[in-house]
Amino acid sequence: MTVHRINPSILSADFVNLQHELERITTADLVHVDVMDNHFVPNLTMGPPIVERIQAVSPIPLDVHLMITDADRWAPGYAEMGAYSVTFHAEAAADPVSLARRIRDIGSRAGIALKPGTDPEPYLELLPEFDQVLVMTVEPGFGGQKFMAEMMPKLRRFADAKARLGLDLWLQVDGGITVDTIGMATEAGADTFVAGSAVFGGVPEDRIAELRAAAATHRH
């Protein structure tokens, strides 16, 4: 049976009351932490000191998504903080395989993310080097954007490669995930879903349950 992981994005949380917000999503699988540097994407969120505090108080593991330049330099530090999963962008890493191996050696899961315009082809045979692939279903940088259904063929290519290679690989989607779009992503092979306003825009526990139920009604 497919496990459907729901990872709320704290990009949609109340930044003044982050600890309280984390305590509202204890029924989620991981908390998605968006790190943006205003270089790789045109937005600035948080850096190592805040992520370290989130790691210290979060009741669920951290799924860190680095939307930053020079990932080769900075990503290992997030693994050293104890993040359960560290995902960096293919477009921001000089040597994605070496970086993934460093992250794994430290003890975190290593993920690679692809922006909507990035060709999946160069990464399909590298999949054994990663624990997660994040297919962006919006342009990274801001929450609340519309889900890009045209990314589903890319997701299917990763799902097919995962099956062909027999991998225990998480396929994550991030951007515009709601109860209306999660089924489309599930059918294309996703098993891990980042949702921001779809969770924090209501009672998080109820919203998480609704997303799980919507995902469960569809199968790859």
How do residues 147-181 score in pLDDT, each as one tens digit?
999 999 999 999 999 999 999 999 999 999 999 99
Residue 219's pLDDT band (boundaries 50, 70, 90)? low
Residue 218 pLDDT class (50, 70, 90 cuts): confident
Catalytic residues: 34, 174
Q: What's the whole-number average pLDDT of the chain?
A: 95
In the chain, which ranges are continuous DSSP H helix?
18-23, 48-57, 71-80, 96-106, 121-124, 152-165, 182-187, 197-200, 204-216
In which residue are the tokens 């054994």 written?
128
Query: How far apart (Å, rounded) are the C-alpha atoms in residues 122 and 197?
Result: 33
Structure confidence by residue, pLDDT tens digits, 53-91: 999 999 999 999 999 999 999 999 999 999 999 999 999
State the Cα–Cα distance between residues 127 and 171, nearest whole angstrom.
Answer: 11
pTM for the structure as a whole: 0.96
DSSP state for residue 149 in the 8-state scheme: G
CB atoms within 10 A of CB 166: 8
pLDDT tier at 2, thresholds 50, 70, 90: confident
Query: For 111-142, how does the pLDDT look when each residue is reduced to its tens digit (9 = 90+)?
Result: 999 999 999 999 999 999 999 999 999 998 77
Whole-angstrom CA distances from 55 to 78, 80, 99, 114, 174 are 10, 11, 21, 25, 21
Q: State percent of the chain over pLDDT 90.
A: 91
The CATH code that applies to domain 5-216 is 3.20.20.70
